[in-house]
Chain A
C-alpha cells in the first residue's frame, strides 16, 4: 500500500501548533516513514490563523500536497477556513462545544478539546496535546511513543509541564477510544519503531553543515526566516568551540565575519533579504580584500519588510548582483535538507579556495520545513582551506605580498600573527603588497586577477539534476526550494501521459551552460517554475544558454507551490 497522508494542524499563533507538528513528524520518522512538515504562519506571536502540515509517505518526500487527509482544528475559525482543503473522505477533529458547526459526516469527530484540557491538563494551553492524543487514537497509533515524545519535547520546561501534557494527551486518546468505539479512519499502517533517521529543517541542516565544515565564528542579527540558523549555532557553540556573537546590525555582523575570517577562522553569517541588503557593501569588501566569507540568505517576500514569515524566491537577482563594482562570488541554492547540509560545507571550501564571498540561498519554505533524512555522511565532508601558507612555504618573509599575481587569481594567503611576515589588506584598489594605488596598470591587473576566480568557480558548479534521464517533450526548469514540487510534478505529469523531465539547479552562479545541453531534447517545451514574479532564473537561463522558455509558471503570494498546481498549469498550456 502506498502511504501518502497529509495532516493539517490549524489554529491560532500561541496554541502550540509547531509543537504538535514537531512531535508528529518525529514519531512518524521513527516509525520508518518519510515526513515533510511545512509551516504557514503569520508574523505574530498570539492569535490569527496559522497551520502546519505534516505529510507522511513511505518514500522520500520534499513537497506539500494540496489535499488534506486529516484536519485538526484547534479553534473554531479553522473549521470554516480549512474545511475546503479536506479530501472527500478526509477526517476532521474539532471542538463542537466551542462552535456552531454541525455535520453528519461520520468522519468529522467533535471532541470537547478545551474541556478535556481544562479538566486534565489544568489549562487551555494543553488543548494541543489533547488534540494530538485524539488524533493518534484515530490514526490507530500506540499512545506510548507519543508520551515519550512529549517528555522529550517539553523536558526543558520541567516535570510539571511534561506531566500535564502527557495526562492531556492520554485523556484525548482515551476519549476517542471510549466515544468512537469500532470506528476506523486510520490511513497510516503502524510500522516498526527505530531511531535511525533524522527529522530536521533546512535551517538546522545548514547550521549542521557549517559546524561539520569547521565553522569557528558566527555573527548575525535575528531576522525571519533565517533566525533558527543562528539559534542552533548558538546552542552548539560551547560544545563545538565556536565563538558566537550577536551583532548590533547586519553591517556589523558581516564585518565581524570578515575580520574573523581574515584572522583565519571559518566564519559565517545568516540573514534574510533586508539584512542582506545591509550587508551589500561588505560583500564587495570580502571580495576586494580577498577574504573568504559565507553568507546564508533565507529569502522571504520583499521588498522592504514584505511578508516576514512567508516564502519567495525573489532575491536571486539581489544575491547575484548585490554591491557595487565587479567581483567574483558564488551562489548555491539547496533544494532540500540534505543538500542544505552538503552545500553549506561546499560553500566554505569554495570561499576558502577562491578567497571570496559565497552565498547559500534558501527561503522560508526550505528553511522552516522539516524533512526526514536517512543520514549525513561525515566522511564525505572534506575541509579545504585553499592556498593558506605558513612561514616554511614563503620564500622571503620580508617580501611577502598578499596579492601577488597568479594566473588563477588566487594568491597564497598568510594569517596575521601566525607568520613572521606581515600583510596589508585593503578595500581601496591596491598593489600586490596591499597598499593603495592609483596606477592604471595595477588597477587593470588587479581587476583581472579577481575576476579570473569566476573561471575557476564556474568549473566547481555541479550540473543541474535532470530527472528522469529519458528525453521528453516537456522540461520543468526549477531551482532551489522548488526541487520537491518540481520533481513530484514531473512524476504526476508522466503518469498522466505527458512525457516530462525536471531540470533542477541547486548550484546557480557562476552559471554553467555546457553541462546539460545533451540531456534534454532541443525542441522540448521548457516551463520555468519559480516562486517569484519575474521568473528571475528563467531570464538568466535564457541569457546564458540562448534557449527560450516556453512558459513561466510563477507564484508570488508568499506560499509554496504544490506539485498539483504545477501540473494544472502545464496542462493548461500544453
Chain B
C-alpha cells in the first residue's frame, strides 16, 4: 500500500493561507493512497493559474504546461501510454475561458482521464479579474460596475457535450471530495469534476460560509438517478439556495484510448521500431 508520505513533494507551497486549494490537494493525495496508486504511474497535467500549481506539491509525474492547454497534452499522454493514470487540473479561467474549445472536444472524445477544475469564480494568479463563472453583478478589477454577462454553467455544458462522468465537489468537504476523485479516477472515460473552491483573497462573495450554507450531497437524495440525462440537466441547473454536490451524470461509453489502442499492438511507447521492415510501404508508389 502506498502512504501519504510517498506523495510528499519538496516544493514549498505558494498559495495564500486559507486557500481552498489546500483541501483539494489533501483530497487528491488521499484518493491516490486509497486507490494504492504509485507516484510513478500517475501523470498530472496542469495549465496556468493558482490551481495548476497543485501537481508541484505532490510527488508524481507532472506536466505543467500552457494556460488553457491541459486537455490536449493529457490526451496525447494517455494515447501514447494508456497504462498511465492521467489527470488534468486547472482553474475556471484555464479550463472554461482559455481552454473552452479543448474542454468540449475532450468530452466528445471520451479520453480516459480525470479532469479537476478548481472553480473559484474569479482569477487568482492575475489578482482578481472576472472569470467565465463569476456571478452576475460580481465586482472585479475588470468589471468595476459589476459583471454583465451571465456565468457559464459548466456542468450543463458537460452533459450537453456527452461527457461520460459529470460531478461537482466542494473544497470544504474533503472526505466527500476524496470519494468523488476516487470514483472519477476509476471511471473508464472522461471524468470531470467541477470543484467549488473559495478564494480567500479575491472572492468575498462565494466564501466557505456561502457554499456551506447552500450545498447538499446528491448521495443523500436517494432518488437522484445519475444515469437519467433529463434529471441530470435539472440538477445541473440548481444554483441558488441549494447547490448539489456529487455525481450529477454518468454514462459509460467507449473511450478514445481503448478504441485507438485497439488498433495498435501495445502501448505506443513500448513498441520497438525497425525501419528495415517497412519496405512494403513504397509499393503503392511504383
Known: A195-B286, A236-B281. A217 touches B72 (CB 8 A): no
Known: A255-B76, A428-B64. A196 touches B286 (CB 8 A): yes
Q: Given the complex of chains A and B, what is the CA–CA distance between A379 and B40 in angstroms?
A: 37
Known: A285-B66, A423-B61. A258 touches B73 (CB 8 A): yes
Chain B residues closer than 8 Å to A424, beta-carbon distance: 55-56, 61-62, 64
Within 8 A of B (CB), among A320-373: none
Known: A211-B281, A259-B72. A217 touches B268 (CB 8 A): yes
Q: Tell me whether chain B's interface is mostly helix, strand or loop, or mixed.
A: helix
CB of A416 within 8 A of CB of B279, answer no
CB of B285 within 8 A of CB of A245, answer no
Known: A214-B275, A217-B79, A263-B77. A255 touches B40 (CB 8 A): no
Q: Is A3 an interface residue (CB 8 A)?
A: no
Among the stretches B140-148, B169-177, B197-205, B257-265, the one at the interface with A is B257-265
Chain B residues closer than 8 Å to A378, beta-carbon distance: 275-276, 278-279
Q: Is B1 an interface residue (CB 8 A)?
A: no
Q: Is B69 an interface residue (CB 8 A)?
A: yes
The winner among B11, B39, B65 for most chain A CB atoms within 10 A is B65
Looking across the interface, which residue of chain A has its beta carbon closest to that of B65?
Answer: A427
Chain A residues closer than 8 Å to B183, beta-carbon distance: none
Selected from B63, B84, B263, B286, the residue in CB contact (under 8 A) with A198 is B286
Selected from A236, A255, A435, A436, the residue in CB contact (under 8 A) with B73 is A255
CB of B80 within 8 A of CB of A216, answer yes
CB of A262 within 8 A of CB of B77, answer yes
Among the stretches B28-36, B41-49, B126-134, B207-215, the one at the interface with A is B41-49
| Distance of B48 from chain A, by nearest CB (Å) | 7
Q: Is B182 an interface residue (CB 8 A)?
A: no
Looking across the interface, which residue of chain B has its beta carbon closest to that of A239?
Answer: B281
**Number of contact residues on A: which range applies?**
35 or more
| Distance of A295 from chain B, by nearest CB (Å) | 14
- Encode A365-400 as 1/0 by CB contact (under 8 A) with B: 000000000011011010100000000000000000
Q: Is A265 an interface residue (CB 8 A)?
A: yes
Selected from B14, B43, B64, B80, the residue in CB contact (under 8 A) with A243 is B80
Q: Given the complex of chains A and B, what is the CA–CA distance between A500 and B117 in angstroms?
A: 64
| Distance of B99 from chain A, by nearest CB (Å) | 9
Chain A residues closer than 8 Å to B56, beta-carbon distance: 424, 426, 435-436
CB of A241 within 8 A of CB of B268, answer yes
CB of B72 within 8 A of CB of A252, answer yes
Looking across the interface, which residue of chain B has its beta carbon closest to that of A381?
Answer: B275
CB of A285 within 8 A of CB of B79, answer no
| Distance of B136 from chain A, by nearest CB (Å) | 29
- Encode A414-431 as 1/0 by CB contact (under 8 A) with B: 011111111111111000
Q: Given the complex of chains A and B, what is the CA–CA distance between A242 and B79 in angstroms?
A: 10
- Encode B80-116 as 1/0 by CB contact (under 8 A) with A: 1101100000000000000001101100010000000
Selected from A236, A260, A428, the residue in CB contact (under 8 A) with B80 is A260
Selected from A199, A256, A436, the residue in CB contact (under 8 A) with B53 is A436
Within 8 A of B (CB), among A193-252: 195-200, 204, 208, 211-214, 216-217, 219, 236-243, 245, 247-249, 251-252
Chain A residues closer than 8 Å to B104, beta-carbon distance: 248
CB of B65 within 8 A of CB of A258, answer yes
Q: Is B222 an interface residue (CB 8 A)?
A: no
CB of A289 within 8 A of CB of B278, answer no
Looking across the interface, which residue of chain B has its beta carbon closest to that of A247?
Answer: B72
| Distance of A211 from chain B, by nearest CB (Å) | 6
| Distance of A433 from chain B, by nearest CB (Å) | 8
The winner among B79, B84, B102 for most chain A CB atoms within 10 A is B79
Chain A residues closer than 8 Å to B63, beta-carbon distance: 259, 262, 289, 425
Chain B residues closer than 8 Å to A383, beta-carbon distance: 273, 275
Q: How many chain B residues touch the partner (CB < 8 A)? A: 57
| Distance of B102 from chain A, by nearest CB (Å) | 6
| Distance of A424 from chain B, by nearest CB (Å) | 4
Chain B residues closer than 8 Å to A422, beta-carbon distance: 39-40, 59-62
Q: Given the complex of chains A and B, what is the CA–CA distance between A426 and B271 in angstroms?
A: 27
Q: Is A274 an interface residue (CB 8 A)?
A: no
| Distance of B3 from chain A, by nearest CB (Å) | 15
Q: Is B74 an interface residue (CB 8 A)?
A: yes
Chain B residues closer than 8 Å to A263, beta-carbon distance: 43, 76-77, 80-81, 84, 268-269
Q: Is A472 an interface residue (CB 8 A)?
A: no
CB of B282 within 8 A of CB of A416, answer no
Q: Given the complex of chains A and B, what is the CA–CA distance between A217 and B82 in angstroms?
A: 13
Q: Is B75 an interface residue (CB 8 A)?
A: yes
Q: Given the complex of chains A and B, what is the CA–CA distance between A29 and B260 in angstroms?
A: 37
Chain A residues closer than 8 Å to B276, beta-carbon distance: 378-379
Chain B residues closer than 8 Å to A245, beta-carbon distance: 75, 79, 109, 256, 260
Chain B residues closer than 8 Å to A285, beta-carbon distance: 65-66, 69
Within 8 A of B (CB), among A88-145: none
- Encode B235-273 as 1/0 by CB contact (under 8 A) with A: 000000000000000000000100011011100110101
Q: Is A264 an interface residue (CB 8 A)?
A: yes
Chain A residues closer than 8 Å to B268, beta-carbon distance: 216-217, 241, 243, 260, 263-265
Selected from B263, B275, B278, the residue in CB contact (under 8 A) with A237 is B263
Q: Is A520 an interface residue (CB 8 A)?
A: no
Looking across the interface, which residue of chain A has its beta carbon closest to that of B98?
Answer: A251
Q: Given the complex of chains A and B, what is the CA–CA distance between A468 and B265 in angstroms?
A: 49
Chain A residues near B (Cβ < 8 Å): 30, 195-200, 204, 208, 211-214, 216-217, 219, 236-243, 245, 247-249, 251-253, 255-267, 281-282, 285, 289, 375-376, 378-379, 381, 383, 415-428, 433-436
Closest 3 CB pairs of A and B: A259-B76, A255-B72, A214-B273
Q: Write 9 A-B pairs (CB below 8 A) sorted by A numbering.
A: A195-B286, A248-B101, A249-B101, A255-B72, A258-B65, A259-B63, A416-B43, A417-B83, A418-B81
16 additional A-B residue pairs with CB within 8 Å, beyond A212-B281, A263-B269, A435-B10 = A198-B285, A216-B269, A217-B76, A243-B80, A245-B256, A258-B73, A259-B77, A265-B269, A379-B276, A415-B81, A416-B43, A417-B40, A424-B55, A424-B62, A434-B62, A436-B14
